[in-house]
Structure 1
């Protein structure tokens, strides 16, 4: 979404990953930054334990919005922090979790569903030779990704399939050499299939959009909200389960 907003707004990026953060000596006091940049909106990308790092969020005049990812983590703590910071709006990638948060937020708090999206200039068909049969990408935590873990254990080491296997893309690093952003997209674009799962929570994970964008065949179990997202098995992905994924590959 950041890339899309850059095209239609005068966006200023600020945080530990950006140059301005060092230029201002790592200032985390939001009212101080508000005086410098005079924003119309303050958008915090990625909630995961970041809201409490910013100081005096509740003392700003500009409206504030925050993106939610992994909504199953620390539900009550997140709601408490957002209420204390007087966040005006939360943007949720996973629709079916919104009703769990709504009773915990202040009555004036607004919630919006914003499904995962991609940068089409990055996640695309690069015209590469599809040198790998199957990609298996992402974290391998049995308790969270039971199907993905089983897929990896079953497929890695098979002599009749060329497997591309990596852990999750890195959040930071040199984009020219690190497995992240365009390098991650190019890896998917070199594979005929990308096989993954929706986790035990049945999330419509971002891999659906990333895989479709690269014109790679996605294989996964059906997520919640699939109908609203227009995910249809045998149309834009192939539905699998723990019993049939090997046969579906062949």
Structure 2
């Protein structure tokens, strides 16, 4: 069997609260039709390629900003005749650096988790854009049979500037009977803190305890991780809505419940009271996420897309 060889620039995110990139790599190496050369340092691309046994078919960066900060982006990519792709996480950071690097390095494919956000900021790259939405790792999020003993749950950042709706929900719900919240632990943590914060398995179990989880997509209307994680844990998602969600399968009152700053408390109390309605939507959301948005599915889509691109472009 011919294998797709990928030179994969990445960083160590094993101690991150958000382990999406880590889960992606774990599933990627399981595929029989790929061979991955993980790279954790920068430098001249020609020197890096000389260290490999085979010439890769594709060069990929799984986090543009972090790679740039941790060890520096590799240089002289325009001098090698190998297709290249970059995943850009935080679309509102390092914009000028991103555009300059894409142009100078002749990057072929540009990936992002947030379709509408990327295309609004970089319409000039529409023809190079690949939508790679977030996903949930089955071993952590999708196998939960836990007693639902939390009525309303909120977890995550509450910053007014970036998450004004989330902050309003917290301020109004914090005195409601049955409401539970946990302080955001930060985005990085030490191993000694692991048992004391909600991350990984512990985070998924806590989400699974909730009947209803309230969140939002930030001021940018991003389909953030919790949109996928909450339904995967068999918990009803109450969250802000925006057009991109429809194409992901998030349909109001079908697979989640759309809320805004005027109605979130009313809807939270309604679905707490009407158990059967809540369960129907929860089950549908759970089924939809497992059918469309698990990490193994996303990895397969990523690789199949590369096969198609490389075949089309010789």
TM-score interval, smaller chain: 0.7 to 0.9
User: Scaled by the length of structure 1, what TM-score is found?
Assistant: 0.81
Conservation of the 8 A alpha-carbon contact between 1:188 and 1:194: yes
2:42 is matched with which residue: 28, 31, 44?
A: 28
Question: What's the offset of the Cα at 1:241?
Answer: 0.9
Aligned to 2:169: 151
C-alpha deviations, 1:151-198, integer Å up to 9, x for none? 112222x26114032316644543953533333222212222221011
Unaligned runs of 5+ in 2: 1-23, 270-314
C-alpha deviations, 1:221-243, integer Å up to 9, x for none? 10231221121111111111111
- Distance in 2, matches of 1:47 and 1:111, equals 15
- Distance in 2, matches of 1:203 and 1:215, equals 21
Aligned to 1:67: 87
**Secondary structure of 1:201's aligned partner:** coil
Aligned to 1:46: 63
C-alpha deviations, 1:80-136, integer Å up to 9, x for none? 122233322111211113253142x5x9x7211112122122211421222322221
Aligned to 2:122: 101
- Identify the structure with the greater helix proportion: 2
1:133 is matched with which residue: 118, 127, 151?
A: 151
**Alpha-carbon spacing, 1:191–1:57, altered in 2? closer, same or farther (3 Å):** farther
Conservation of the 8 A alpha-carbon contact between 1:42 and 1:62: yes
**Secondary structure of 2:202's aligned partner:** helix
**Secondary structure of 1:147's aligned partner:** helix
- Distance in 2, matches of 1:13 and 1:171, equals 22
**Alpha-carbon spacing, 1:13–1:237, altered in 2? closer, same or farther (3 Å):** same
Aligned to 1:121: 139
**Secondary structure of 2:42's aligned partner:** coil
Aligned to 1:204: 223
Conservation of the 8 A alpha-carbon contact between 1:92 and 1:98: no
- Distance in 1, matches of 2:176 and 2:220, equals 32
Question: What's the offset of the Cα at 1:201?
Answer: 1.5
Conservation of the 8 A alpha-carbon contact between 1:140 and 1:149: yes
User: Quick check: 48-57 or 89-98, which moved more?
Assistant: 48-57
The one of the two structures with greater contact order (alpha-carbon pairs below 8 A, sep at least 6) is 2
Unaligned runs of 5+ in 1: 16-26
- Distance in 1, matches of 2:49 and 2:186, equals 32
Conservation of the 8 A alpha-carbon contact between 2:65 and 2:94: no
1:82 is matched with which residue: 97, 102, 112?
A: 102
- Distance in 1, matches of 2:150 and 2:57, equals 46
Aligned to 1:6: 29
Q: May I ask how many residue pairs the two structures share in their alignment?
A: 235
Question: What's the offset of the Cα at 1:44?
Answer: 1.4
C-alpha deviations, 1:45-92, integer Å up to 9, x for none? 122253471231524554321112232334333211222333221112
Conservation of the 8 A alpha-carbon contact between 2:212 and 2:235: yes
